[in-house]
Every structure is written in C-alpha cells, then in structure tokens.
Structure 1
Amino acid sequence: MNQRKCALELISDSSLSGSKTIATPVELNQKFTTCEFNNHIGGPPDPVLADPGKYQRLVGRLLYLTITRPDIAFVVQSLSQFMHAPKQSHWDAALRVVNYIKQAPGLGVLLFSFSSASLQGFCDADWGLV
C-alpha cells in the first residue's frame, strides 16, 4: 500500500522536482523551537513566516502521507506542533522532508495477500531485568 501519486503531486506542488534528494528526513540533532523560546534565550533570529497557510497546507499533506510512510511520522509530528506560528526553519525542515520523499515516492507499507489470524509485532528495545 503506497501513495505514490500523492507523493509525486506533493513534490510537484512544492516546486522541488529539480532538486536533489536527501537520505534522511531530518538533520541529526535538529531542535525545533518556538519564537518565544528563541526570544527568551536570545537565540539566532529566525523570522516567523508571513503566510502560515502554505506551511499548514504542506504539513497537512505530509500528515496524510504518514499513513503509509511511518519513516516520516516523527519529523512530521514534530513540525505539526508549530502550525500556529511557523518559522523559516520549520519551513526549511518541511521542504527537507519533501526532498526525502522524492528519493522513493512509491515507498509504503507492505501488506501480504495471504490471510493470517495472528498479529505480529517487533520491537528493538532491550527490556532486560536489572
């Protein structure tokens, strides 16, 4: 199950058809902050977007893609926390996610055709007893 058509439309509408692909959806150790936090700590200037509507539409479309793309779920959820006052850094991170999707727009969830009554789950956590 994939949403290739939706992903390709998202790439086209974002005007990123000619851009390079990216291997990861978010930069390593990137922190997303609010304007109030930056003002409080005296961080670098990061202007609020003049039109938050375009950011809200982009993140909304990315949220729709998370149904079949769990690899982008964390970063899109993080970006969706700033829908009320997105900054330029949030917009750049959202465009990075679109560039990441561009490398494999047909990637999705694999559902087997055979019927099974069992549910399987996997976890990579180590819950050893102390």
Structure 2
Amino acid sequence: MQNLQKYLASEFEMKLLGDLKYFLRIEVAKSKQGIFLSQRKYILDLPTETGMLDCKPIDTPSEQNHNLGLYPDQVPTDKERYQRLVGKLIYLSHTRPDIAYAVSVVSQFMHSPSEDHMGAVMRILRYFKVTPGKGLMFCKYGHTNVEGYTDTDLVGSVTDRRSTSGYFTFVGGNLVTWRSKKQKVVSRSSAEAEYRGMAQGVCELLWLRRLFRDLGFGPRKPMDLYCDNKGTIAIAHNLVQHDRTKHVEVDRHFVKEKLDAEIISFPFISSEHQLADVLTKAVSTTVFLNSLDKLGMRDIFAPVY
C-alpha cells in the first residue's frame, strides 16, 4: 500500500486522507463486524428541504395493491418539484435496496406527474422517518460464492400491462447489486414474463463473474440463480421449443447456453423465501421487514435497549 501511495503521489497531486468515512454523501463505518454503508445524513436533510419535519412515519415505502398509472382525469402537480424529489430518491437507492421498487414506480411518471404520484413520493419520505440510518452491512462469511434471486410480477402496470422484473445478487453472502425495472414489452404468460426476468438476472451474474476474473479470482462452481417458478426452470432445461416460449426464443437460447456450460444453475425456491419479491410489487409489512433482515440491511444508529 505504501508503494502504491508513493507511485500515485509521483504521478498526481494528492495526499492521504486516512480511512474512508464519507464520500459522495455515502457514509462508511468500519468495525470488527464488517463495513457499513448508509446515506443517513442525506436522508436526515430531506425533511427540512421538503417541509416534512412533522410528517407521520410509515412502515413501508409503497402502498400495497396500489393502482398508480396515467389517467385522463388525473390532477397535475408541480412537475419540477416532483422531478427534483425523485432524482434525490434515485440517488438514495445506491445504498437502500428497500426503496428500489417504490422509486422504480414513481420514476415512470416524471413526464406527467399527478397528485397521486406526488403522494407516493411523500410516502417514501415518510418511510425514511422510521429508518433514516438503515444501510448495507458487508461481513466476512468465509466464502466467495456468487448467487442471485430473480422474480417477476405479471402485468403489474395498470397503464400498459407490462410486467415488473427484479433481481438481487450476492457475493460471499453480501448483497452487491439489485434492480427493479418494468419490462420493455407485454408478456402473454407468467412463464414468458419470468423467463425475461431470469435472463436479466443471468446477465448480471455473468457481469460479476467477468469482474471477479479481472480481479484475479472467479466462481469455481455454477452460480445459483433462485427462481420460484417451476415452469420457467423447466423451460430453461428443456431442449424442445414450445409455443409459449416463441416470444422469448433469444433469451431461451442465451440462458440454455450458460446452463449447458455449467456457468449458471437454477434452484427452485418457494415464494415465501423469494427475496426478489420486494422488487416487483408492494408487499405486506411482515414480508417486507423479513426480507430486509435477509438482505443484510441494518441500522447501526438505532438505540439498543
């Protein structure tokens, strides 16, 4: 490390600032337990900026069974304010996978926001009042296994009936990447929607695999991508084309190629243990809080009784 510092100092004007604690509004805390990332200060500044110091807290960032969409009779809201708030929430998603789905939804109405859409944004801000210090804890678990969870909510959008896919990826037992995104086309079956989501998860795992090889090590066994749809897993292993797979033929060949090369495997997981469920729809408070614990989200600032 000293040699590296001397070399960089000879090439650039720089100085050693010590251990990383705060960078680009991301707070870093190190201890014997691991490394903790959060954006607590950024979150605590939001109520002052938005005038929500006295707002009522809430346990989840999204209302269950919401019907947010674009309607002809919707009441418009301040477009610039809406875009500014959503932009802040997008940046907060870097350390807060718990708001990924909620932010993905409100981001879809940036061009024509309504009062209902603004209400959804305010709900996320109310959720922060309960959990301003939550963040990601990275611990040493004694392995470097790469695995992922993928799930899809069929035709979840009330506006265009497109499905929402999401995935989590873990390295060494720690959450490293996640995504919640509406699919680009309408799926005609649950298997088709799930397969498109599976292909996205495979792409992410392959990217991680290449990254680790560049760093000097890589997965020594197939990477597990957990899916809760048996029909989708069966299609991935089946050599015969079916009518219900013709709309995802390219994805099917792509996934099958990686499966045959033993780069990826698709273990089945029951829906109650599917972590990616919180990335595709608004779930109940109980399911939501249980998922956060399994994702490794902690609040080191919470009082201990």
Q: Give me the TM-score of the superposition, normalised by structure 2.
A: 0.37
Distance apart, 1:126 and its partner CA = 2.9
Equivalent position SS for 2:95: coil
Higher RCO structure, 1 or 2 (CA under 8 Å, sep 6+): 1
Q: Is 1:58 the counterpart of 2:85 in the alignment?
A: yes
Cα distance change, pair 61–119 in 1 and its aligned pair in 2 (3 A): farther
Q: How many residues align?
A: 120
Which structure features the higher share of strand residues? Answer: 2
Q: Is 1:48 the counterpart of 2:48 in the alignment?
A: no
Q: Give me the TM-score of the superposition, normalised by structure 1.
A: 0.82
What's the CA shift string for 1:71-122, capped at 9, x where partnerless?
001010110010011000000110000000110101011122x596614435
Cα distance change, pair 11–119 in 1 and its aligned pair in 2 (3 A): farther
Cα distance change, pair 120–11 in 1 and its aligned pair in 2 (3 A): farther
Q: Is 1:12 the counterpart of 2:114 in the alignment?
A: no
What's the CA shift string for 1:25-49, capped at 9, x where partnerless?
1111102111xxx22xxxxx43111
Question: Which residue of the partner structure matches residue 102 of structure 2?
Answer: 75
Report the AA paired with residue 135 of structure 2.
G
Cα distance change, pair 92–127 in 1 and its aligned pair in 2 (3 A): closer
Aligned-residue identity in percent: 36
Distance 1:96 1:48 in 2: 18
Unmatched runs of 5 consecutive residues or more in structure 2? 1-36, 150-225, 235-305
Q: Is 1:118 the counterpart of 2:154 in the alignment?
A: no
Distance 2:57 2:136 in 1: 21
Distance 1:116 1:63 in 2: 33
Distance 1:7 1:52 in 2: 22
2:120 to 77, 88, 93: 93
Equivalent position SS for 1:72: helix
Distance 1:7 1:119 in 2: 32
Question: Which residue of the partner structure matches residue 42 of structure 1?
Answer: none
Cα distance change, pair 81–127 in 1 and its aligned pair in 2 (3 A): closer
Question: Which residue of the partner structure matches residue 68 of structure 2?
Answer: 32
Instruction: Determine which structure has more spread, i.e. the larger CA radius of gyration.
Output: 2
Cα distance change, pair 7–119 in 1 and its aligned pair in 2 (3 A): farther
Distance apart, 1:13 and its partner CA = 1.1
Unmatched runs of 5 consecutive residues or more in structure 1? 40-44
Question: Which residue of the partner structure matches residue 22 of structure 2?
Answer: none
Equivalent position SS for 1:85: coil
Equivalent position SS for 1:121: strand
Question: Which residue of the partner structure matches residue 298 of structure 2?
Answer: none
Distance apart, 1:11 and its partner CA = 2.0
Q: CA RMSD in A?
A: 2.1
